[in-house]
Structures are given as structure tokens and as C-alpha cells.
């Protein structure tokens, strides 16, 4: 996928998340361009930032996962959530996941991937890339098939975060 198409996919996901939040009566907006580690800000009536959201959007792909980086292993805050947007179904689906869970997932996913044999039994080599998948083809401790189900459209966990 070209960088242009990837950028458009990301923007579509961010705007879809804004649409969902505003329909629920949750005030939200986009931060200034280039703001690190945040795609959407959830605010209160006094314009105080309550929550930061990082939006990861996918359009297609055989493994139905989202690309992450090594930095996501340590990007943790009680006020940071990830919204994984799956644009592939007719009605896009969102998974709202706390940053602590995402950090643990990408750390464990990477260790499991490195331990699993690669092509022709060769060992995998460390890379900065990570994957968040709804189901892994190798065992990732604590992230069995269906682990994302509890986060599907779970916007309620954003309420009451101060």
C-alpha cells in the first residue's frame, strides 16, 4: 500500500472514531498535526483533556491485524487508549483497548514471534515492527483467540476517566 493510501486509511479511521464519539455525546477533537502518540483527544465541557486515543486502522490484510512499533511496548498511561478500527466489514468495527493491555500484548507477541521458527525453520530476527492480531498463529501468553472480543465497541470504559 502506498504511503498516500495508508495516510488516507489512517485519516478515515480517525474521523470514524470522532463520529462514533460525537454520536455518543462525548466531546472529542483532533490534536494539532504532528502531536506525538495521540490521534484524538477526548475533552470535557471546560476543554480539559480527559483521554488521549491512538487510532490504528486497517482496510485489508490476510492476518486481520494492525501494525505497531517497538515504542508501543512502553507507551502506557491510564489516560491513553487505542482504538483499533477494522474497515473491512460492511459496518466498520472498533476495539477500544487500554494502553497497558496493548503494551503487554506487543511485548509478548514479539517474544513469541522471535521464539517461533521462521521460514524453513530459521529463527526470526529482531525488528522494530510489532503486530496486534485478533488471533495469533503462534502462542502468545494471555492473548488467545478471542482476546479482543471484550474490547469490541467497548466505549463505556472511556466514561469516568479523569
Domains of the chain, with CATH numbers? Answer: 3-158 (3.40.1350.10)
Nearest by Cα to 101 from 147, 55, 145: 147
Higher pLDDT, 10 or 5: 10
For cell 471484550, name the residue: 150
Q: What is the chain's mean pLDDT, rounded?
A: 91
The answer, yes or no, to whether residue 10 has pLDDT greater than 60, is yes
Q: Give residue 133's pLDDT.
A: 93
pTM of full prediction above 0.85 = yes
Q: What is the dihedral of CA 100, 126, 2, 76, to 10 degrees?
A: 10
pLDDT in tens, 72-124: 999 999 999 999 999 987 889 999 999 999 999 999 999 999 999 888 999 99
Terminal Cα-to-Cα distance of the chain (whole angstroms): 38
Residue 105: all three cell numbers together: 500484548
Cα distance between residue 106 and residue 112, in whole Å? 10
The H or E element that residue 131 is part of is strand 129-132
Amino acid at each position: 500500500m502506498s504511503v498516500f493510501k495508508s495516510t488516507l486509511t489512517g485519516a478515515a479511521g480517525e474521523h470514524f472514531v470522532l463520529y462514533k464519539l460525537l454520536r455518543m455525546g462525548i466531546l472529542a477533537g483532533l490534536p494539532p498535526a504532528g502531536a506525538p502518540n495521540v490521534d484524538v483527544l477526548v475533552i470535557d465541557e471546560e476543554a480539559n483533556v480527559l483521554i488521549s486515543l491512538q487510532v490504528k486502522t486497517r482496510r485489508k490484510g490476510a492476518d486481520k491485524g494492525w501494525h505497531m512499533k517497538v515504542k508501543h511496548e512502553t507507551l502506557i498511561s491510564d489516560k491513553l487508549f487505542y482504538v483499533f478500527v477494522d474497515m473491512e466489514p460492511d459496518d466498520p468495527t472498533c476495539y477500544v483497548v487500554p494502553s497497558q493491555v496493548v503494551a503487554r500484548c506487543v511485548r509478548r507477541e514479539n517474544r513469541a514471534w522471535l521464539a517461533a521458527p521462521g521460514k524453513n525453520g530459521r529463527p526470526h530476527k529482531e525488528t522494530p515492527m510489532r503486530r496486534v492480531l485478533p488471533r495469533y498463529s503462534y502462542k502468545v501468553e494471555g492473548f488467545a483467540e478471542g482476546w479482543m472480543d471484550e474490547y469490541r465497541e467497548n466505549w463505556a470504559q472511556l466514561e469516568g476517566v479523569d
